A and B are shown apart, each in its own frame.
Chain A
């Protein structure tokens, strides 16, 4: 394999944050390619050739039936073995917004046990309609508390936008939730500006325990509703004209991913 860090930005009908996600990875020298899932299914491309899979935001298949469901099924039915191998090889996956919904609904998050990336019994959590009953685009503060390669060196509180209608995280039951906590799988929680317990719209969707993003047990699969790729450049900040900052809070996630591959997988 060549010395390039290769990122597969997975897209299909209705994916729409692919370009900016690829831009974020390629800013750190990675080769990021926006690839249609049909090319994997038609075997015109292989997951094996990549180090990172990024499932970006969008409305895959219109979020018809429910968000992320159809792509999640495509992945868990048609690409299962490839994805299992990818994860076994110690590679990275990130799902943002619709990508997070896909990972959860495919059973990749909170994730499987005993060497399988997918949870055998199917879904153990969901992302469902916001309590506000509508799509909302707004900026939220997040407390960073997880572990794993994606989150290394991030500040205590970061500021990202959310833009979704179905972002309310609900675990199947208390044991799923307590496992998430016990294993340190909760990556981000919505919080107030100061880091305290949020109220609406600080928690924009009513997520259980204010959960905004989680990882799998290893920390190498990350999913989150907020958009780190939309706070990458300083001018994306909603009041950048009032503050001084040289880079967006989301930069760390993408540089972490690329650096992890350089260090561990090349």
Chain B
């Protein structure tokens, strides 16, 4: 029997969700909407009488204080009467898409004693009041209520389809693909039609391999090779050869780069050779020493393509995925905090300019933030730090970087799969979701992507992953398994293939627990269903592992074993469907040679007269999308769970000013801590990707220095998001940026501990291709010896002295100030690594001696913005004199001193009594005493010609900073 339970909020209770829907519809420009109501629907299937369904509704599904319900048998159900002033629109999940609440609702029903329940589906019925046309309704459905990739509007026709139209009878026919006789054209077609995203050279190598073993491949063999060789899993661009040509000032410099990764990022780490780098570039995440007993690991991933299509699900599974990276590092680390960085087109982007197939950036942003909020909060991992960058060119390809830090005992950092170990899958069941995610990210997006690759989009189940985490850490501490890895892109194919690389693996695909029947063997193998991990378990430990999993309600299934014959053998219902040499799979792909050209852009810069008053410019900079308060986002994340937060993302007397790095103390009650920061600046990269990379490294480091970290204990991660690397100009920028990473890393002696890349971030529309601005994110992790000595950025007391530390140059290129004037500029900030290191070390030493009351780095918006933020952070005024600031540029002007974004600079607040000691610490570096903190609401900046160039109220600065994203 099928029952439909409709649940409605009582009129007397304010329904915030319905109110939110109403506001979003108004935002869309549908002015006729008068009111929205939302009715929650549960469809219960199983052996249930009306009385049973009634009890379930009363005791489980409704809140007796705020809600009423109505129970209908589905057969007798008719949709609400057509009322011209009320449109009833029902939105349900598409067949095959995981319904996030299904699992727990079934558990709740069984707890009540109704074991006959077989399935639960949910839907929402929206009652929209007002004079709305069908066109309005369609618009509202598409823009507000549903994402057609995962949801649909329920109509008479859609109801007649079976609940699971993807369910098929089991089939076990082995399917062969004809490749032996294929010519080049046929090979290319095969790659395209099968969504393999392999190039001709690779397809030829595959044909030759099968010629050698004298048989045609099966479909799953081809899929396995495509996944293993995908850009996402194999990083062909970073590992392959590149012919690089640099055209600067009429001179051509040419060189061959053999593996960009090994000759830049990894090379730097090798040369710096820090003893505290415990496991770098080996594992899911980079591992560094924490306190001698434990290590910490850090990984940042991207989930750009899925987030472009389904922002909530994309970000949701992105954060879920990077958390599994932590769980799969060594023998499993415990996640302790997350960091998230996004790049979007501006939220006020005009609807009419939106390219077909793209979602509006405001919707993307809201969806992405909700996705991170949902997963991070539910797993109980604090999201402590982040950044959001806006630029029009992210319109087709928003960037979603998800980072996670874990802690792991020192003796659990290394793993080794053992011959004879069982292959055990734990966690979620396997469905048809996320098929082709790995290969999908090796291609550009088009307006058809949402149709072709819709299988690549899914929603996560954070509670499932939390259960896996709870079970895993117990099993780890009892030494029940010898290796572990996560199922990410490529699913079992990637996880088992990776773990069995040196040994070989035999897998019985029919042993995998499935979400529904009818999956083909190749689907089981490459499905990217979330929340699954693969363990290598000695058979004698299996029973104990099962006991732990039983208590935690986690499913553990033996899929096969690691054999020792160096082959990948897959079976399904007794038939062999794959028999590949691990050697060919992991090393058989032909090396790619790509061409790269770097030509500096020709940028013309207007001359800017100095406006006498810069108050307006400062206010504009503070309100700039890239500078303004992100409180709307930050407060939706639980940034304090686990109890370790020491410096939160917002600081100051009323918790509303932007902190530099965030600091957590993962072992409660102990003084050792971790600082996390990010450096990102795409505008610098539009001028020169080399200095973008160096500047981002400088920024990430200086944020950690600003809170009291030290250069000696900082490790960094690179994360390149770029356009299509098969286009030489795009790849040229990428190479130049990697070279910048190398120089800066070695210059600062700060090693890379992990990294990642996401390429092909282009959106093709007809003949036009919109590439994102090449964007590198540098994430940094620093070890803090004593959290009690940490410093925040808010001014502490009137009468304290204000210093600017470091040198300001005429480097307005890429600055926020120039952006407010509609200019890019040509003078990108550079870095003097030697001088900068000295500044960092001196300031760390001054913090240790407690000579600094507050400190803030000068980044976007320069000195002006830094001073304003410190002022409203402390609720205190200031008076400074720009004439006293060290300035090394040619055009000495107030606007340049205030808004140049030169690197390696800080503003520090020092008590008058500590003046001499502080200045002694800074001996040999450039610093200037420019003013003092005032006990009032006045923010006064005197210009170089002695006249006042900024005069405003501290609260006006704060308002300018807060108003932009006050949603």
Contacts and interface: CB of A to CB of B under 8 A. Distances in A.
A135 B377 contact: yes
A220 interface: no
B65 A38 contact: no
Interface stretch (B128-136, B149-157, B631-639, B821-829): B631-639
B230 interface: no
Given A73-B60, A126-B65, A232-B643, A16 B379 contact: yes
A144 to B, nearest CB: 21
A58 interface: yes
B532 interface: no
Given A57-B641, A129-B17, A161-B640, A62 B787 contact: no
Interface stretch (A84-92, A235-243, A253-261): A235-243
B269 to A, nearest CB: 32
Contacts of B59: 73
B280 to A, nearest CB: 28
A266 B790 CA distance: 42
Contact of B639 (A15, A137, A170): A137
Contacts of B648: 238
A163 B643 contact: no
Interface in B606-662: 634-643, 645-646, 648, 650-653, 655
Interface string B804-829: 00000000000000000000000000
A66 B640 contact: no
B501 to A, nearest CB: 34
Interface in B874-900: 874
B214 to A, nearest CB: 52
B669 A61 contact: no
B463 A134 contact: no
Given A20-B642, A123-B63, A230-B640, 10 more contacts: A13-B470, A17-B641, A19-B643, A23-B643, A23-B669, A62-B100, A69-B60, A69-B63, A131-B16, A206-B14
Interface stretch (B107-115, B254-262, B572-580, B742-750): B107-115
Interface in A111-166: 122-126, 128-139, 161, 163
Contacts of B794: 239, 241-242
Contact of A70 (B66, B107, B466): B107
Contacts of A138: 635, 655
Contacts of A100: none
Contacts, number: 186
B669 A233 contact: yes
B791 interface: yes
A14 interface: yes
A217 interface: no
Interface in A59-76: 59, 61-66, 69-70, 73-74
Contacts of B378: 14, 16, 59, 62-63
5 contacts: A17-B643, A70-B108, A133-B17, A170-B13, A241-B791
Given A20-B668, A229-B643, A123 B65 contact: yes
Contacts of B14: 131, 206
Contacts of A235: 646, 665, 787-788, 790
B101 interface: yes
Interface in B460-487: 461-463, 466-467, 470
B551 interface: yes
B1 to A, nearest CB: 21
A36 B405 CA distance: 25
A25 to B, nearest CB: 12
B533 interface: no
B373 interface: yes
B553 A73 contact: no
Nearest to B99: A64
A17 B642 CA distance: 6
A1 interface: no
A241 B790 contact: yes
A181 interface: no
B583 interface: no
Contacts of B107: 61, 70
Nearest to A173: B65
Contacts of B467: 13
3 A-B pairs with least C-beta separation:
A16-B380, A133-B16, A20-B643
Contact of B637 (A14, A128, A137, A239): A137
B903 interface: no
A175 to B, nearest CB: 13
A172 B66 CA distance: 8
Given A59-B378, A73-B60, A73-B112, A239 B792 contact: yes
Most buried by A among B59, B377, B461: B377
Given A14-B466, A62-B100, A64-B100, A129 B551 contact: no
Interface of A is mostly: mixed
A43 interface: no
Contacts of A171: 65
Interface string B366-380: 000000010001111
Interface in A22-36: 23, 27, 36
B379 A136 contact: no
B104 interface: yes
Given A73-B59, A132-B16, A62 B104 contact: yes
A138 B637 CA distance: 10
A142 to B, nearest CB: 16
B46 interface: no
A137 B649 CA distance: 11
Nearest to A138: B635
A51 interface: no
A59 B466 CA distance: 10
A230 to B, nearest CB: 5
A39 B551 contact: yes
B792 A128 contact: no
B112 A77 contact: yes
A14 B551 contact: no
A242 B111 contact: no
Contacts of A13: 104, 463, 466-467, 470, 552-553
A78 interface: yes
A65 B104 contact: yes
A227 interface: yes
B20 interface: yes
Nearest to A22: B668
Contacts of B790: 235, 241
Most buried by A among B15, B668, B874: B668
Contacts of A11: 470
Interface string A193-227: 00000000000001000000000000000000001
Contacts of A39: 551
A128 B160 CA distance: 36
Most buried by B among A14, A15, A77: A14
Interface in B50-75: 59-61, 63-66
Nearest to B645: A236
B63 A128 contact: yes
Nearest to B787: A235
A218 B645 CA distance: 35
Contacts of A20: 642-643, 668
Contacts of A66: 63
B640 A227 contact: yes
Contacts of A74: 111
Nearest to A104: B65
Interface string B441-463: 00000000000000000000111
B668 A23 contact: yes
Most buried by B among A58, A59, A66, A241: A241
A209 B247 CA distance: 70
Contacts of B183: none
Contact of A62 (B462, B552, B796, B854): B462
B237 interface: no
B871 interface: no
A163 B640 contact: yes
B463 A123 contact: no
